[in-house]
């Protein structure tokens, strides 16, 4: 048992990846949240401090994703220990970049490390999913799984934890641009239609299958053609000012495809190579700027490692 301070990092993620609502996600190299953790013998999980959230996140452990994840972990392994946490919130809240997931994942990796890593990354998933349920009412895994495990993941069945890592081509870059507005995942989920037409369903599952094929074959054109979303984008894009213009500019600048990152408001674009990614990132940022909207941009390869100890 490690009793001195330990610190872990968990990366931001892009969930859905256009066609794969609730089933696709991948990890970025940066940014990410960090959690410091001290084990104690109180049997209680508490949050000592949260830095970087402007006082917006709940401080009670049972209401905060990092606290909930650690509580579930400790009770599942019948540990009599407690933990004190400090969360360094580096991801913007309500950004569509897997912010709540990253806090939970960093805390889980830290607490598991403190116990000598008795559980695998995959076995940590249910605790992170419970944390997502606290954050937005739904225990979806498409942010927590890639943040924990790294890479591009396919959630075939979240109840059975049938999670598949999909290989990605080496020169695939992601650009993520975050306009400074907040969208709550809970609201963005409620806005979606509950029924799909058969023709939309056929389009969507054609694209999800083709995206997997494109990634595995390293076929950048096929990856691009598959980044189409007839389920969430038509509704959610309405809540993102300038969405269509920013997407068009990304495609004009050479992006393979572009869509909403998670539940928004961030957009992501896939690009072949760093040079194109830089061009795309500039084009997207300038388009938001021309609308007087500040936007932060990130550019990264797919992070194959996922969360890590610091």
Catalytic site residue 185? Answer: yes
Nearer to ligand HSE, 17 or 255 (CB): 17
CA 257: distance to chain centroid? 18
**Catalytic residue selected from 65, 185, 208, 287:** 185
The residue count for binding ligand HSE (CB under 6 A) is 13
Binders of ligand HSE among 247-266, rule CB under 6 A?
A: 262-263
Token readout for 252 is 């004009």
Q: How far apart are the first and last CA of the chain?
A: 17
Q: Please identify which residue in 8, 10, 15, 66 interacts with ligand HSE, judged by CB under 6 A.
A: 15
Of 71, 185, 207, 285, the residue at the interface with ligand HSE (CB under 6 A) is 185
- Of 246 and 260, the one with the shorter C-beta distance to ligand HSE is 260
Q: In whole angstroms, give the CA distance from residue 133 to residue 68.
A: 10
- Please report, as residue ranges, which positions from 221 to 250 form the binding site for ligand HSE (by CB under 6 A): none
Is residue 208 annotated as part of the catalytic site, yes or no? no
| 207 binding ligand HSE? (CB under 6 A) | no
Of the candidate spans 76-84, 181-189, 206-214, 280-288, the one that interacts with ligand HSE by CB under 6 A turns out to be 181-189
Three-state secondary structure call for residue 24: strand
Q: Per rule CB under 6 A, is residue 29 in the interface with ligand HSE?
A: no
Binding mask 85-124 for ligand HSE (x = CB under 6 A): -----------x----------------------------
| String of contacts with ligand HSE for each residue 140-159, x by CB under 6 A | x-xx----------------
Q: Of 130, 132, 233, 249, which residue is the catalytic one?
A: 132
CB of 26 to ligand HSE, least distance (A): 12
- Give the interface with ligand HSE as residue ranges (CB under 6 A): 15-16, 21-22, 96, 140, 142-143, 185, 188-189, 262-263
**Which residues are annotated as catalytic?**
132, 185
């Amino acid at each position: 048992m490690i009793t001195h301070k330990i610190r872990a990092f968990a990366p931001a993620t892009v969930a859905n990846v256009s066609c794969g609502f609730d089933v696709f996600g991948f990890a970025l190299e940066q940014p990410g949240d960090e959690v410091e953790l001290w084990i104690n013998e109180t049997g209680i999980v508490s949050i000592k401090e949260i830095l970087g959230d402007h006082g917006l996140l709940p401080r009670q452990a049972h209401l905060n994703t990092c606290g909930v994840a650690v509580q579930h972990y400790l009770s599942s392994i019948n540990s009599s220990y407690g933990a004190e946490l400090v969360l360094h919130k580096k991801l913007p809240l309500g950004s569509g970049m897997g912010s709540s997931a990253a806090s939970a994942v960093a805390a889980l990796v830290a607490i598991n490390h403190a116990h000598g890593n008795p559980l695998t990354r995959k076995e940590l998933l249910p605790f992170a999913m419970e944390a997502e349920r606290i954050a937005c009412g739904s225990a979806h895994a498409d942010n927590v799984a890639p943040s924990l495990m790294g890479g591009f993941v396919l959630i075939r069945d979240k109840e059975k934890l049938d999670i598949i890592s999909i290989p990605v081509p080496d020169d695939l870059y992601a650009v993520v641009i975050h306009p400074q507005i907040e969208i709550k995942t809970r609201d963005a989920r409620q806005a979606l239609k509950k029924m799909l037409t058969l023709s939309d369903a056929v389009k969507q599952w054609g694209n999800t299958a083709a995206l997997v094929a494109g990634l595995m074959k390293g076929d950048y054109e096929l990856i691009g053609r598959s980044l189409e979303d007839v389920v969430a984008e038509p509704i959610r894009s309405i809540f993102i000012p300038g969405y269509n213009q920013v997407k068009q500019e990304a495609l004009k600048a050479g992006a393979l495809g572009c869509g909403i990152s998670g539940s928004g408001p961030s957009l992501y674009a896939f690009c072949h190579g760093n040079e194109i990614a830089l061009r795309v990132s500039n084009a997207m940022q300038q388009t938001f700027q021309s609308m007087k909207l500040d936007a932060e941009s990130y550019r990264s390869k797919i992070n194959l490692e996922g969360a890590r100890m610091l």
